[in-house]
Chain A
Amino acid sequence: MTVQTRPAPDLSAALGAMSLATRAVRRRSLVVLTGLLVLLLGLVAARVLLGDYTITIPDFVRIVTGADIPGASYILLESKLPRAVAGTLAGLALGATGATFQTMARNPLASPDVLGITLGCSAAAVSAAVLLDAPGGMVSLAALGGGAAVAVALVVLSGTHPGAAPGRMILVGIALAAMLVSVIHWVLVRADIYQAHEAMVWLTGSLNGVTWSEIRLLTLVVVVALPLLLYVGSHLQVVELGDDLASGLGRHPRATRTRAIALVVVLTAATTAVCGPIAFVAFLSGPTARRLLRGRPSLLTAGLVGAVIVVAADYLAAYALPGNNFPVGVVTGLAGAPFLLWLLATSRPVKETA
């Protein structure tokens, strides 16, 4: 009698299909990353060279290598270049932080700006600057403290973590945001009109008055914290599968989340301290990146999307209406709100894990 054996599954064929699929995904993300980089470079070039005062490429090279061209040097080095550089850095940080929270919560609405962390940074920073007349360094520290306080309050008050009950956490964030907004309004009333105007420009999210020393701070934070966030983020995708599975796969969901939240707070605080709360960039970048990658989350891609958004929005804010030099936050706010409404209108019932 012969024993009927089942044919062994064709392992090599399955592996081949898988590696093909993996290669397709890799190719797609490579194409997207390259495309975004090229787009970003183009936008930065436009931001630096074009606009109401055109600087030719040879002039740009000469100024950057130390030549002094009356007029052009000043405009390039004190306005155009710092705005482009700060916009790129801020966009990278905001995009990556937004996508981190969105991945963690499995909910596009749970970005640090919707949750009120950004507002925590701004309320603390504006209070320190106006009420205590604190110098720049102290203002940055205040922003860090405010953001951290809101992050802790979010976790404690909603009695959950961003992975479990995003709806409740978002609502708690909105409650905290309403309180923080009124604190900011109060500070604005206490200030004299010039301080209030300056604070108002900053609170809108603005690259107008960015200085090189602020950019140095932001560069330092982004260069250190962003790679760390990307690294922690690669673990987040496992954590996203659920706490039990993640623990089984040797990841510590709690520690991973805590690290991710801490890095997000640091990046958000640094960005907010320098550029103010630029509305909706953190919220917009993640879903956009995800769509470009056909559903796969990627923090780096989201960061590049954020940079593209900020630099492009700043170009529009500065030059779209001649004679008006709006803060960049006006443009991102105007673009972001309808997108959020559309996302809400088309949202499906959320499946929650307990």
Chain B
Amino acid sequence: MTRTRLPTGAVVLLGVAALAVAACLSLAIGSRSLSPGAVLDGLTALVTGEASGSSADGILSARLDRTLIGLVVGLAVALSGAAMQGLTRNPLADPGILGVNSGAALAVVLGLQFAGISTVGGYLWLALLGGLVTAVLVYAVASVSQGDQSLTMVLTGAAVTAGVTSVIAGVLVSNQGALQSFRFWQVGSVAGRDAVIIADVLPLLVVSLLIVGLSGPVLNAAALGEDLERALGQRVHLARFVVAVGAVGLAASAVALAGPIAFVGLVVPHVVRLVTGPDYRRILPGSALVGPVLILLTDTLGRVVTPPSEIQVGIMTAVLGAPVLILLIRRAVLR
């Protein structure tokens, strides 16, 4: 059965246009909204370096920072989720649900408490380490278990998250300073950060992006199941391991930049799949476009729902993403 599809070029164009609109909204809307003209003037002023000195400049520059960080985080989280879903053949996989974000968070808290590490560059490697350890643990438990794989994986992620939460709580209740910085970090937010921090995560981000971006064939083969995959001559374990490290690397980059952001990695690949079909060579670039759109739109929405205060993007995605997860659970033939 063939499905009538829009031509690929048109879909890509649509995605890019959506991204541009989302970015413009993210620049223009907030507790003090700017007109499109003011945004444009401000941007040209920033580019040419001729700041007009108006208050709009400051607002725009802060919004530009959070828009850039939102772009990068959306890209990283969505690709990470897509790769995890492909690798585990589990429609419910996502760096948050599988516990990778919690593992990363634990490593960050322990680094903060015992080594005094509090820079994004430091967070990054701790987050990567914590995320990798968790990923290995979750994968190991799920592959030893004889129960339902998808369910076991999700539950293992939840178990890790619960255990990690206890350890973190143990640290935070006895260290008010750590609590003060951690409570703002753990909600997941792209606001109040300087876009310069993107440079700190750049090496890991670029390498992981390359690995995951090119992993389409590996993920397609993984979808066939391990036996068929081996018969087709794929070096199953090595290729998968490399892609898994890339996926965790992306999740760690996002966590270091913005804190843990829930459900974006889960939802985006499913939305993309509706348009592209099951081919990961299409799902991956699609996710790379839709992830940033989703982050930017929810972040913008979070600025206007409870004026004058803001709701952080991590909270928004969790509240909006949970119903989607429930929908997926009901649709998947899970008992």
A positions within 8 Å CB-CB of B: 109, 114, 157-159, 165-168, 170-172, 174-179, 181-183, 185-186, 188-190, 193, 196-197, 200-201, 203-204, 279-280, 324, 326-327, 329-330, 332-334, 336-338, 340-341, 344-350, 352
Task: Tell yes or no: B312 within 8 A of A by CB.
Answer: yes
Is A182 within 8 A of B319, CB to CB?
Answer: yes
Across the interface, name the chain A residue whose C-beta is closest to B322: A179
Interface residues of B in 178-219 (CB under 8 A from A): 179-180, 183-184, 186-188
Instruction: Find out whether the CB atom of A193 lies under 8 angstroms from the CB atom of B163.
Output: no
Q: How far is the CB of A304 from chain B (nearest CB, A)?
A: 24
Number of A-B contacts (CB under 8 A): 173
Knowing A334-B167, A344-B159 touch, does A179 contact B318 (C-beta < 8 A)?
yes
> Which residue in B97, B146, B169 is a CB contact (below 8 Å) of A178?
B97
Query: Do A185 and B173 form a contact, CB below 8 Å, given A174-B97, A193-B179, A280-B162?
Result: no
Interface size of B by CB at 8 A reads: 56
Q: Counting CB contacts under 8 A, is B147 at the interface?
A: yes
Instruction: Say yes or no: A189 contacts B184, CB within 8 Å.
Output: yes
Whether A171 touches B329, Cβ cut-off 8 Å, given contacts A193-B180, A280-B162, A352-B335, is yes
Q: How far is the CB of A32 from chain B (nearest CB, A)?
A: 27
List residues of chain A with CB within 8 A of the CB of B170.
204, 326-327, 330, 334
- Given A329-B169, A336-B163, the answer on whether A188 and B183 have CB atoms closer than 8 Å is yes
Main secondary structure of the interface of A (DSSP, over half): helix
Q: Which residue of A lies closest to B160 (CB)?
A: A337
Given A188-B183, A337-B163, A349-B148, A174 and B169 contact (CB-CB distance below 8 Å): no
Is A279 a contact of B162 with CB atoms below 8 Å? yes
Q: B-side interface residues toward A, CB under 8 Å?
A: 92, 96-97, 137, 140-142, 144-148, 151-152, 154-156, 158-160, 162-167, 169-170, 172-174, 176, 179-180, 183-184, 186-188, 262-263, 309, 311-312, 314-315, 318-319, 321-322, 325-326, 329-330, 334-335
Please, which residue of chain A has its CB at the minimum distance from the CB of B148?
A167
Do B179 and A200 touch across chains, with their CB atoms under 8 A apart?
Answer: yes
Residues on A with C-beta less than 8 A from B187 are 182, 185-186, 188-189
Residues of B within 8 A of A203 (CB): 169
**16 A-B interface contacts by CB (under 8 A):** A166-B335, A170-B151, A171-B151, A171-B325, A171-B329, A176-B326, A183-B319, A189-B184, A196-B179, A332-B166, A340-B159, A344-B155, A344-B156, A346-B145, A347-B152, A350-B148
For A183, the chain B residues whose CB sits under 8 A away are 315, 318-319
Cα A11 to Cα B172 in complex, Å, equals: 66
Cβ contact within 8 Å between B319 and A327: no
Please provide the 9 A-B residue pairs with the shortest distance between their CB atoms, ordered closest to farther. Answer: A333-B166, A337-B163, A182-B318, A179-B322, A347-B147, A204-B169, A330-B170, A340-B159, A175-B325
Cβ–Cβ contact B263 & A200, under 8 A: no
- Distance in angstroms from A237 CB to nearest chain B CB is 22
How distant is the Cα of A329 from the Cα of B166 in the complex, in angstroms? 7
Report Cα–Cα, A188/B140, bound state, in Å. 34
Decide: A334 and B329 in contact? CB cutoff 8 A.
Answer: no
Closest to B138 in A: A341
Interface centre among B97, B141, B156, B314 (most CB of A within 10 A): B141
The answer to whether A197 and B173 have CB atoms under 8 Å apart is yes
Contacts of A338 in B (CB 8 A): 163
Say whether A200 contacts B312, CB under 8 Å: no
Nearest Cβ in chain A — how far from B307, in angstroms? 14
Contacts of A171 in B (CB 8 A): 92, 151, 154, 325, 329, 334
Shortest C-beta distance, B100 to chain A (Å), equals 14
Which of A172, A182, A345 sits near B144, CB closer than 8 Å?
A345
B169 near A200 (CB under 8 angstroms)? Answer: yes
Given the known A-B contacts A329-B169, A330-B169, A347-B147, are A174 and B154 also in contact in the complex, defined by CB atoms under 8 Å?
A: yes
- Is there an interface contact between A175 and B180, defined as CB atoms closer than 8 Å? no
How far apart are A46's CB and chain B's nearest CB, in angstroms? 22
Q: A157-B330, A344-B142 are known contacts; what are 4 more A-B pairs with Cβ within 8 Å?
A: A174-B155, A182-B262, A330-B166, A330-B167
Are A196 and B334 within 8 A (Cβ)? no
Nearest-neighbour CB distance to chain B for A57, whole angstroms, equals 33
Given A337-B163, A344-B152, residue A182 in contact with residue B141 (CB < 8 A):
no
